Amino acid sequence: MTMNPDYNTRVDLFKESPTRKIDVIKEKLQQEGKDIILLSTGQPSIPPPRWAREKLAEELLEESMKLYAYTPTQGRKTVLEAIRRELEEHGLKLGEKQITLTAGGQSALFAAITVLFKQGDNVAVFDPMYFGYWPLLDYAGVNVIDIVEDIKQGFKPDLDKLEEIASENKLKAVILVTPDNPTGRIITREEAERLASLAEKHGFYIIVDEAYRTLVYEGEHHYIYKYAPDRVIALNAFSKDPGIPGWRLGFAYGPEWIIQRVKLVVQETVYCTPAIAQRLVEIYLTDRKRREEHIERVKQIYMSKRDAMISEIEKTLPKAEYVRPKGGMFLFLNLEEYLKPKSMTAEQLSLKLLEEKGVATVPGSYFSKHYKYALRLSFVSEKPERIREGIHRLAQLLEEI
Amino acid sequence: MTMNPDYNTRVDLFKESPTRKIDVIKEKLQQEGKDIILLSTGQPSIPPPRWAREKLAEELLEESMKLYAYTPTQGRKTVLEAIRRELEEHGLKLGEKQITLTAGGQSALFAAITVLFKQGDNVAVFDPMYFGYWPLLDYAGVNVIDIVEDIKQGFKPDLDKLEEIASENKLKAVILVTPDNPTGRIITREEAERLASLAEKHGFYIIVDEAYRTLVYEGEHHYIYKYAPDRVIALNAFSKDPGIPGWRLGFAYGPEWIIQRVKLVVQETVYCTPAIAQRLVEIYLTDRKRREEHIERVKQIYMSKRDAMISEIEKTLPKAEYVRPKGGMFLFLNLEEYLKPKSMTAEQLSLKLLEEKGVATVPGSYFSKHYKYALRLSFVSEKPERIREGIHRLAQLLEEI
């Protein structure tokens, strides 16, 4: 791509997002008129509630710059206050300077990693992990220490292992996604408490990615911040709830000295976060009752889709391993028993499945060095019958190979 | 702010945006019920045209994820194509991979600087320069070489000086804003051609910031890219036209190998640019005739405001120096003759003017190491009579001190 080597070659660590490769093939097939079943995408399938969109549509017609002007980098006070109030109900006490808006979850990831990490820092991560972290950690030049989560243990984070690592190394931080992408695992209160006490004992930070925190189907989301407020930086997004992934709004909260620097990184990368997304989220968060009804409805729909996926897996893929997702949008399907004997990787399977059967998935290898024969399946985009059909075609393909 | 030094202390180079300081005082005074005349802000005062907002408002009510979904990082094809077509009319030939969207102008600045610059690179800039560049250049660790633009020469970029610098140093790049913020100066075709030929002869890059390119009142905007397509990275924004600063959409164009890396930086900092801003801009750019009418109307309004400012300056500030802005939103007013004898800096004056006379301005020192006694005045926010009143109060204050 280049004839000129005189640039910051470290940016080449920022590779094209791996799901884009799948998107390109998918779009090509769609243009050829092929109907593709989408089990690949992490996007909600339900737009924000109509009442919130109606209000915003009205305001678009006002002859004023209010909806269009720059906002403070940290965000409009009303939005920050609505977030603060909601977190307070979950027992989190946060001062004014402990929350900042970000331009989506990605912007929160980038900013937190830019602020906290120096070249050579030891950072523990749980494998499998959302693939978006890898290029950022590479760019920061940190030393990543993987802790494999055992599918047979329900992808529980192995905190004994973490303690061992923290005892043997100067650990800067651990990264945890809960509810998890790609496994749908959530952490228990005991795990949250133990993580917090390990962080305090060994002096490391916890970067906790809570982008799916309102999409919990069984049990509840536990906020680690409560147990170690000086040690936890929490990253959040409005992409999944209220469902505006393309509008780029998220937030981060944690210790003031970190959050104020996260804000500076957001300032220098985007100046402020999208004002129109802030306004929609403000409308959405402020009408508490209708918001709860909306989330409840969305959760019911996603849960029934999840259950359709599970029942079809049970029926057609007896040798597959998976853990029933307690939250989020994904099921992580281990097909080792099918693929290993044939020496076929998940990448090869995913490609074949897309090209020959018209089903888009994401190879587990994008999330894991350990799980080489897994697929990440999204259960939110398609209707239940198409989810069943997608799993059915996967089973067919596994029989054919 | 910190008790813990174990972080990436380089982010402390990202200081709070200097105009925020003014905003904080301004907001405090406004809360006290004081009416403030805003000559500080670089925001348009006219929202996007109603027909475009109406179309978007309709689409907000559709029960689909279309308006909310992630887009490719580079941007929706339709938007990129509309931009490409427009630039083509100005004689620019750009391939598909030579344009990428960015999350506003700031995101384009951040990405271009991140891709191109390495620690210790020599980078020439013209003083005064938009203040947003300073923290980014500090963070990149480059060696900045200032070239003062003489107000008596209409802030013409001193290309003799640039040639001298490029002959004596290994120059990595020069940064040029045209139409300029804060001076309103535009470059001539001859200057564009000479800059291009210097870049090619000496092997440096030109980062040209064209955020105000459609707001030219006299003469026309010259696209340097035409004269040195391998050497020019152009940064643009939709903040000023169609007037959606808070929605964060801009674009960059230039050599493919650079733009593809700019895209990767945008991917890692924000994943994609705001989908709703893309849609509004698509609607706006596609209706060519009505777009032109809108810009024409906006330009007429801004021009009459500029002229109101100039006539009041002529009337009340005979010893002030300025150059009639040919484009953009600002006039750079040199008050050396008033302030130097009193040993008063522009920062002191700007603060006094805000607190005692209720007029918000930006000290020229935010843009310049050379012009210590200047103010940047925006002529777009207020109505002509209030602009006159603001200048009148400035003249009063200068008499009082």
pTM: 0.97
Tokens for B281? 């801009």
Average pLDDT, chain A: 96
- Residue A96 and residue A80 in contact, taking contact as beta carbons nearer than 8 Å: yes
Residue A394 burial by Cβ neighbours in a 10 Å radius (0-12, 13-18, 19+): buried
Task: Give the tens place of pLDDT for each residue, A129-158.
Answer: 999 999 999 999 999 999 999 999 999 999
Q: How close, in Å, is residue B388 to chain A by CA atoms?
A: 22
What is the H or E stretch that residue B333 is in?
strand B330-334
DSSP, residue by residue, A31-70? HTT---EE-S----SSPSPHHHHHHHHHHHTSSSSTTTS-
Q: How close, in Å, is residue A162 to chain B by CA atoms?
A: 21
Instruction: State how far the alpha carbon of A267 is from the alpha carbons of A73, A89, A92, B54, B364, in Å.
Output: 6, 29, 26, 31, 21
Q: If DSSP codes are grouped into helix, strand and coil, which group holds residue A216?
A: strand
Say how far apart CA B152 and CA B154 lie, in whole Å: 5
Q: How close, in Å, is residue A72 to chain B by CA atoms?
A: 8
What residues in A contact B114, CB-CB < 8 Å?
Answer: 8, 11
B103:A260 CB<8 A: no
Span A52-68, mean pLDDT? 97
State the fold for domain A65-288.
Answer: Aspartate Aminotransferase; domain 2 (3.40.640)
What residues in B contact A60, CB-CB < 8 Å?
Answer: 53-54, 56-57, 60
- Beta strand A143-148 with A122-127 is parallel
Question: From the list A61, A135, A245, which residue is nearest B70 (CB)?
Answer: A245
Tokens for A285? 């968060």
B11:A271 CB<8 A: no
Please report, for chain A, the start and end positions of each structural domain, with discontinuous segments joined by +. 9-48+291-400, 65-288
Q: What is the pLDDT of residue A245?
A: 97
Select B16-45+291-400's CATH number: 3.20.20.80, 3.30.460.10, 3.40.50.12640, 3.90.1150.10. 3.90.1150.10
Say how far apart CA A312 and CA A384 lie, in whole Å: 10
Question: From the list B45, B57, B260, which residue is nearest A61 (CB)?
Answer: B57
Question: From the list A2, A53, A116, which residue is nearest B7 (CB)?
Answer: A116
Q: What is the pLDDT of residue A4?
A: 54
- Residue B364 and residue B332 in contact, taking contact as beta carbons nearer than 8 Å: yes
Instruction: State how far the alpha carbon of B117 is from the alpha carbons of A288, A381, B70, B168, B327, in Å.
Output: 48, 41, 30, 19, 29
Class of the CATH domain delimited by A9-48+291-400: alpha beta
B268:A14 CB<8 A: yes
B272:A248 CB<8 A: yes
Question: From the list B45, B115, B136, which residue is nearest A7 (CB)?
Answer: B115
Task: Give the tens place of pLDDT for each residue, A76-88.
Answer: 999 999 999 999 9
Q: What is the pLDDT of residue B4?
A: 55
What residues in A contact B272, CB-CB < 8 Å?
Answer: 246, 248
Nearest CA in chain A to B10: A115
Instruction: State how far the alpha carbon of B241 is from the alpha carbons of A227, A394, B78, B238, B289, in Å.
Output: 48, 49, 18, 5, 15
A272:B248 CB<8 A: yes
What residues in B contact A18, CB-CB < 8 Å?
Answer: none
Region of B115 (left: φ > 0; alpha: ψ -120 to 50; beta: rest) is: alpha
For residue A220, is pLDDT > 60?
Answer: yes
What residues in B contact A271, CB-CB < 8 Å?
Answer: 17, 104-107, 132, 248
Confidence grade of residue A18 (pLDDT, cut at 50, 70, 90): confident
B245:A70 CB<8 A: yes
Q: How many CB pairs under 8 A join A and B?
A: 232
Q: What is the pLDDT of residue B42?
A: 85
What residues in A contact B44, CB-CB < 8 Å?
Answer: 65, 68
Q: What is the pLDDT of residue A2?
A: 45
Q: Nearest Cα to A331, choosing from A378, A275, A271, A391?
A: A378
Q: Percent of chain A beyond pLDDT 70?
A: 99
B274:A271 CB<8 A: no
Say how far apart CA B294 and CA B116 lie, in whole Å: 36
Question: From the list A2, A53, A68, which residue is nearest B257 (CB)?
Answer: A2
What residues in A contact B20, CB-CB < 8 Å?
Answer: 72-73
Angle between helices A288-316 and A275-286 (to 10 degrees): 100
B70:A117 CB<8 A: no
A271:B2 CB<8 A: no
> Token pair 């009639």 is at which residue?
B324
For residue A281, is pLDDT > 70?
Answer: yes
Nearest CA in chain A to B263: A16
Nearest CA in chain A to B104: A270
B43:A104 CB<8 A: no
Q: Nearest Cα to B92, choosing from B273, B228, B279?
A: B228
Question: From the list A8, A243, A274, which residue is nearest B247 (CB)?
Answer: A274
Q: Nearest Cα to B305, choosing from B9, B6, B38?
A: B38
Question: From the list B3, B7, B274, which residue is nearest A248 (CB)?
Answer: B274
Say how far apart CA B295 and CA B48 lie, in whole Å: 10
* CA-CA-CA-CA torsion sign (B19, B21, B26, B27): positive
Say how far apart CA B255 and CA A2 lie, in whole Å: 10
What residues in A contact B277, CB-CB < 8 Å?
Answer: 274, 276
- Residue B331 and residue B310 in contact, taking contact as beta carbons nearer than 8 Å: yes
What is the H or E stretch that residue B134 is in?
helix B133-140
B243:A17 CB<8 A: no
- Residue A367 and residue A17 in contact, taking contact as beta carbons nearer than 8 Å: no
What residues in A contact B71, CB-CB < 8 Å?
Answer: 246
B60:A56 CB<8 A: yes
For residue A5, is pLDDT > 70?
Answer: no
Give ipTM to 2 decimals.
0.97
Say how far apart CA A147 and CA A124 lie, in whole Å: 7
> Token pair 């000479």 is at which residue?
B194
Question: From the list A68, A70, A274, which residue is nearest B274 (CB)?
Answer: A274
What is the H or E stretch that residue B201 is in?
helix B189-202
3-class SS string, A227-282: HCCCCEEEEEECCCCCCCHHHCCEEEECCHHHHHHHHHHHHHHHCCCCHHHHHHHH
Q: What is the pLDDT of residue A1?
A: 42
* CA-CA-CA-CA torsion sign (B237, B266, A181, A346): positive
Say how far apart CA A72 and CA B136 lie, in whole Å: 19
- Cα A20 to the center of its chain, rounded Å: 16
Q: What is the pLDDT of residue B24?
A: 87
Residue A8 burial by Cβ neighbours in a 10 Å radius (0-12, 13-18, 19+): middle
Task: Indicate the CATH number for domain B50-286.
Answer: 3.40.640.10
Say how far apart CA B104 and CA B118 lie, in whole Å: 23
Q: How close, in Å, is residue A1 to chain B by CA atoms?
A: 6
Question: From the list A16, A48, A107, which residue is nearest B269 (CB)?
Answer: A107
Q: Nearest Cα to A222, choosing from A261, A192, A253, A202?
A: A192
Q: Cis peptide leading into B325, omega within 30 of 0? A: no
**Averages of pLDDT over each 10 residues, chain B, 401 residues:** 71 87 88 94 93 98 96 96 97 97 98 97 98 96 98 98 97 98 98 98 98 97 98 97 97 98 98 98 97 97 98 98 98 98 96 96 96 97 97 98 89
A53:B60 CB<8 A: yes
